[in-house]
Amino acid sequence: MSTTDILLWGVLPYVTLAVLIGGTVWRYRYDQFGWTTRSSQLYESRLLRIGSPLFHFGILVVIVGHVIGLVVPESWTSAAGLSEGAYHVQAIALGTVAGLCTLVGIGILIYRRRTTGPVFMATTRNDKAMYAVLLAALVAGLATTLAGSGAVGEQHNYRETVSPWFRSLFVLRPDIEAMAEAPFSFHLHTLIGLLLFALWPFTRLVHAFTAPVGYLLRPYVLYRSRTAAPARTPRRGWEGRPGDYPESTTGAGAPYSGTPEGGPRWPRNRSRH
Amino acid sequence: MRVMGQIAMVMNLDKCIGCHTCSVTCKQAWTNRSGTEYVWFNNVETRPGQGYPRRYQDQEQWRGGWVRTRRGRLKLRAGGRIRKLLGIFANPVMPTIDDYYEPWTYDYEQLTSAPLGDDFPVARPKSLISGEEMSVEWGANWDDNLGGGPDNAELDPMVQRLRQEADDKVRFAFEQAYMFYLPRICEHCLNPSCVASCPSGAMYKRAEDGIVLVDQDRCRGWRQCVTGCPYKKVYFNHRTGKAEKCTMCYPRVEVGLPTVCSETCVGRLRYLGLVLYDADRVGEAASAEDEKDLYEAQLDLFLDPSDPEVVSAARRDGIPEDWLEAARRSPVYALAKRHRVALPLHPEFRTMPMVWYIPPLSPVVDALSGTGHDGEDAGNLFGAIDTLRIPVEYLAELFTAGDPEPVRRVLRKLSAMRSYMRAVNLGEQPDEAVAAKAGMTGGEVTELYRLLGVAKYEERYVIPSAHEADGRRLEESMCSLDFEDGPGMYASGPFGEASGQPMPVSVETFHALRERQSSSGIADPGQRGARVNLLNWDGKGRPDGLFPPTASGHGSAEKPGETS
């Protein structure tokens, strides 16, 4: 077990997890207004209507596949009478189809983004970085599926290396040795995946965390009382962001509580800026 | 019975001259920002015409509003909940920018910076979406005043429906063409299908005044509301990725001011008022079996604020006394329910719209006068209603799901009013029989005339203000639109220009605005948030808050806000 292995498979996952959770909580609190799909359907609909469902439904199947492959121990499927060979056949079939759908979908979306003027103009640097990592993760993942199953090169049973390591992370006793034994392609895919998770809270991918499943259960028409409206710290044009001034009584998130007796709150220390 | 209040509007189409002042002032106030170039919370359409966005009324194409299932229940026309969720990755029926229009500006710099030459420099149109040069082919009002002639007007979905039913009713030959204007804002429906379509629950109807709003913090940009609204009055801000819609100018309404569109209406054709309705029966009314019953069903929801039973129920449901008083004086209740001259726009969408219209009568008077008849004689007028240049059937397609009878009744009332009041004005004995023919009494005719003809500001806009205790907090509590240092500026958060916390909606305090409008003193809002809006400052004196205070006292001698 080398130092590199410890860093990569024993430390990095926890750093990523901390960034993912911390970043998401922070953004949820700080940036509700920026938390959106930032859809570009208004600009272009024809290609989007092919590419977007292909990508999204594909990736949902891919996620389910990951959960099954990583979370369910091999002993369980064997006990259920599924041989390793049979498991791999269904995994490769499902995984390749879903992976290809996803890849074709994102291909169409990237092509659309690059060639449709308004869509390209609405693409930020943040988006571009996210697309690069997402695409890399997809390609590496698909390659791993093909490689691991023995379709290309030597077969590798990741359910004896990657999966135990993944599960061990959550009981805080990372099985670094198991992971270190996995072939390079698995290492690469895992690392790109970790990078994607670390970027996640800071990109438009956050929209996935607010998938509107509650819609299935709620009443159609919603009423809200004015008084129940979410309170917000008011900011004047001449004021900085909430919390810029130590004297400020209303920090970010604190409910606004009526008229301060002294009238408008001025920055006390303007020259600081 | 569950009594709820609704701020509703009536527009008297006879008075609309199509000047678009409402659209322009609304745009200046609310959507004068990048991302909302194509967004018109208020627009004025020429009918017949395609409307905005093009052919929005054709629900076979746009799938907005509700439909009644065979079992008598209401379902969103675009599909049930599961179908909606399956469609969020790419909304199958969402208008693209071409269905509205591609907003543009002109390259004005070219006019001054072009090199000297023989030709006049030209400011070329540039797209505000792509930044490229573009050729302007459609706009928010391309077919204004029947521009484009029959080619455009033939595409009006209502005209097409009429064509199938009664071919000779619709003529576009020059001498026979007709038109009128239809100003439109969000309908603030009692049964809003946009709210029902929103997967993240960001859209809601305010319990107190029925205003339908989008919570900008909770909107995730799934775009289903755009499809859900049959009036296409929810727009997608393409910069922020969030839905925006007409807010009924709630920051103004909360302090008792009318909406910007009403305030600035040149023809004074808008009326604002509170109506009380029975919230328990909305679903039942909206699922009436025959579309033609929807108008009556909707009217039945309105509760009489003078009825003691309603009053005690309203008190039980927490409606304050001054709101009950406002409901009794409401011009909307008077026009829609008491006189029954206002009709809802497209009740067949089953959303129970709350902006009502008095159908236009004017052309018939002109037409009659033109043929040498007395245009205001009741006998002539009644007879002429069915030969109106604007076919009653066309109006019926707009306002009563195709049932011409209610439209005919309204027009008969309006013509009776003209005839009756002319007699009064000429000092003759008014003929009660004329009023009776339209189902009214002379007293009612006079009352209707006062409301339509001479009602002053305070009678046209009867708006109960939100309670002061709430008022202060409300004023800045919700953000429909984002502001940073004023309209058009975005906060620059770390995730692009639209991220971070939005500014409160009231860039100026609306209490201060009302103060200024209704007092003779100088604008000196001594309360919280007393930033002086220079546009509103009348130049008299030196209001508090004009300059920031300094440590040495009140700061009047200091230069304001020196930069570093």
Q: What is the 3-state secondary structure (H, E, C) of A110-166?
A: HHHHHHCHHHHHCCCHHHHHHHHHHHHHHHHHHHHHHHHCCCCCCCCCHHHCHHHHH
Instruction: Tell me the C-alpha distance between A174 and B404, whole Å.
Output: 77
Same domain, A176 and A251: no
Per-residue pLDDT, A81? 85
Is pLDDT above 80 for B210? yes
pLDDT tens for A188-203 read 999 999 999 999 999 9
Question: β-strand B242-245 against B234-237: which pairing, if any?
Answer: antiparallel
Q: Shortest CA distance to B2 belongs to which of B283, B314, B300?
A: B314
- ∠ CA B304-B308-B312, nearest 5°, is 100
DSSP calls for A35-100: -S----TTT--HHHHHHHHHHHHHHHHHHHHHHHHHHS-HHHHHHTT--HHHHHHHHHHHHHHHHH
Chain A residues in contact with B529 (beta carbon < 8 A): 234, 236, 264
Burial of B553 (0-12, 13-18, 19+ CB in 10 A): exposed
Per-residue pLDDT, B545? 66
What contacts B44, CB < 8 A, 6 or more positions away? Answer: B16, B18, B20, B22, B23, B141, B181, B182, B183, B184
A209 within some domain: yes
* Domain spans in chain B, listed from the N-terminal domain onward: 17-101+138-261, 267-460, 508-554
Same domain, A165 and A95: yes
Output the six-digit token pair for B538: 């009348």
Decide which of B512 and A240 is more confident: B512
What is the ipTM metric for this complex? 0.81
Best of B499, B505, B509 to disrupt the A interface by mutation (most A CBs within 10 Å)? B499
pLDDT tens for A21-49 read 999 999 999 889 999 999 999 999 999 99
Same domain, A244 and A147: no
Same domain, A19 and A102: yes
In this complex, the residue of A34, A36, A216 whose CB is nearest that of residue B500 is A34
Per-residue pLDDT, A254? 30
Per-residue pLDDT, A147? 78
A26 within some domain: yes
Burial of B327 (0-12, 13-18, 19+ CB in 10 A): buried
User: In B287-438, which residue ranges form alpha helices assigned H by DSSP?
Assistant: 294-301, 308-316, 321-328, 331-333, 362-370, 378-384, 392-399, 404-425, 432-437
CB contact under 8 A, B477 and A48: no
A45 within some domain: yes
Instruction: Tell me the C-alpha distance between B156 and B398, whole Å.
Output: 11
A272 within some domain: no
Burial of A190 (0-12, 13-18, 19+ CB in 10 A): buried
Q: Is the peptide bond before A242 cis (omega within 30 degrees of 0)?
A: no
CATH, residue A150:
1.20.950.20
Mean per-residue pLDDT, B515-528? 54
A266 within some domain: no
In this complex, the residue of A229, A237, A273 whose CB is nearest that of residue B474 is A229
How far is A91 from chain B, CA to nearest CA, in Å?
Answer: 25
Instruction: Tell me the C-alpha distance between A121 and B524, whole Å.
Output: 45
Instruction: Tell me the C-alpha distance between B477 and A255, whole Å.
Output: 9
Mean per-residue pLDDT, B285-313? 96
Q: How many CB atoms lie within 10 A of CB B422?
A: 16
DSSP calls for A210-246: G--GGGGTS-SS-EE-GGGSPP-----TTS-STTSST
pLDDT tens for A49-75 read 999 999 999 999 999 999 999 999 988
Mean per-residue pLDDT, B477-485? 40
Same domain, A137 and A234: no
Chain A residues in contact with B199 (beta carbon < 8 A): 212, 215
Q: How many CB atoms lie within 10 A of CB B468?
A: 9
Per-residue pLDDT, A271? 35
> Residue B219 CA to chain centroid, in angstroms?
22
Instruction: Tell me the C-alpha distance between B207 and B90, whole Å.
Output: 32
Same domain, A131 and A205: yes
DSSP calls for B128-187: TTT-SB------TTTTGGGTTTHHHHTT-HHHHHHHHH-GGG---SGGG---EEEEE---
* SS3 state at B37: coil
CB A206 within 8 A of CB A35: yes
Question: β-strand B355-358 against B343-344: which pairing, if any?
Answer: antiparallel
B125 strand-pairing partners: B106
Q: Shortest CA distance to B198 belongs to which of B88, B288, B277?
A: B88
Same domain, A8 and A87: yes
Grade residue B471 by pLDDT with cuts at 50, 70 and 90: very low
Instruction: Tell me the C-alpha distance between B22 and B504, whole Å.
Output: 24
How far is A140 from chain B, CA to nearest CA, in Å?
Answer: 24
Instruction: Tell me the C-alpha distance between B196 and B211, whole Å.
Output: 15
Is pLDDT above 50 for B102? yes
A109 within some domain: yes
Instruction: Tell me the C-alpha distance between A32 and B217, whole Å.
Output: 5
Note whether B17-101+138-261 and B267-460 share their fold.
yes
DSSP calls for B209-263: T--EEE-TTT-----HHHHH-TT--EEEETTTTEEEE--TTHHHHTTTPPPHHHH
Domain covering B267-460, topology: Alpha-Beta Plaits (3.30.70)
Q: Which residue of A has its CA nearest to B81?
A: A216
Amino acid at site B393 = E
Per-residue pLDDT, A255? 31
Q: Which residue of B has its CA nearest to A120?
A: B130
The position carrying tokens 């008969």 is: B412
Instruction: Tell me the C-alpha distance between B244 and B39, whole Å.
Output: 9
Quote the mean pLDDT of chain B: 85
Chain A residues in contact with B350 (beta carbon < 8 A): none
Chain A residues in contact with B221 (beta carbon < 8 A): 36-39, 207
In this complex, the residue of B96, B203, B473 whose CB is nearest that of residue A258 is B473
Instruction: Tell me the C-alpha distance between B338 and B354, whole Å.
Output: 16
B531 strand-pairing partners: none
Q: How many domains does chain A have?
A: 2
Same domain, A28 and A82: yes
Decide which of A249 and A158 is more confident: A158
> What CA dihedral angle connects A230, A235, A236 and A242, to 10 degrees?
170
Out of 3.30.565.10, 3.30.70.20, 3.90.1150.10, 3.40.800.20, the CATH code matching B17-101+138-261 is 3.30.70.20
Per-residue pLDDT, B368? 66
Per-residue pLDDT, B517? 65
What contacts B264, CB < 8 A, 6 or more positions away? Answer: B21, B22, B25
Question: β-strand B355-358 against B3-12: which pairing, if any?
Answer: parallel
CB A197 within 8 A of CB A133: no
Chain A residues in contact with B485 (beta carbon < 8 A): 237
Percent of chain A at pLDDT > 70 equals 81
Per-residue pLDDT, B158? 86
CB contact under 8 A, A33 and B500: yes
Same domain, A160 and A104: yes
Mean per-residue pLDDT, B304-331? 96
Decide which of A155 and B308 is more confident: B308
Same domain, A98 and A177: yes
Is pLDDT above 90 for B539? no
Same domain, A252 and A164: no
Per-residue pLDDT, B512? 63
Helix (H) or strand (E) holding B204: strand B203-206
Q: Shortest CA distance to B183 belongs to which of B354, B355, B397?
A: B355
- ∠ CA B474-B479-B483, nearest 5°, is 125
What contacts B540, CB < 8 A, 6 or more positions away? Answer: B522, B523
Grade residue A89 by pLDDT with cuts at 50, 70 and 90: confident
A9 within some domain: yes
How far is A150 from chain B, CA to nearest CA, in Å?
Answer: 34
A208 within some domain: yes
Distances (CA, A) of B417 to A60, B374, B420, B433: 65, 15, 5, 12
Instruction: Residue A131: give the domain boundaries.
Output: 3-215
What contacts B269, CB < 8 A, 6 or more positions away? Answer: B11, B12, B13, B14, B15, B16, B183
